[in-house]
Amino acid sequence: MNTKKKMLLYNVIFLLFCGGLFLFLWRAPEETTARMPYDDTHQKFYTMQKKEADKQCSSCHNPEGVMPLPGQHPPKHRCLFCHKKVAR
């Protein structure tokens, strides 16, 4: 196989891969996770770094707290990875 045909084949494979990746991402479901509210209770966490704020979540979001987490909730140490801050 000569060099021009090889390059054409690689370019076609690359374009097919990029097109497939684009379609996969285009069809991804919408984000459904609730965002962290911007209210009096949560406002202080907006000035903190994510990891610092994550450490504080379990003080209220626990079985005995204000708002317990559902039983099948994923790991609780990275809250703001999914529950993003609301744009102010």
Q: Is 36 helix (H, G, I), strand (E, B) or coil?
A: strand
Quick check: pTM over 0.75? no
- Whether residues 26 and 1 fall in one domain: yes
Number of H helices, E strands in the chain: 3, 0
Say what percent of the chain tops pLDDT 90: 33
Query: 59 is in which domain, residue-wise?
Result: 43-82
Q: Determine the pLDDT at residue 78.
A: 85
Band of the pLDDT at 88, cuts 50, 70, 90? low
Structurally, the chain folds into a number of domains equal to: 2
Residue at 54 is within a domain: yes
In the chain, the percentage of residues whose pLDDT exceeds 70 is 99
Q: Coil, helix or strand for 85?
A: strand
Average confidence score pLDDT of the chain: 89
Provide the 8-state DSSP code for 47.
G
In a domain, 3, yes or no: yes
Instruction: For residues 52 and 42, give the distance between their C-alpha atoms in angstroms, rounded to a whole number.
Output: 13
Question: Per the domain annotation, does 87 fall within a domain?
Answer: no
Mean pLDDT of 13-41: 93
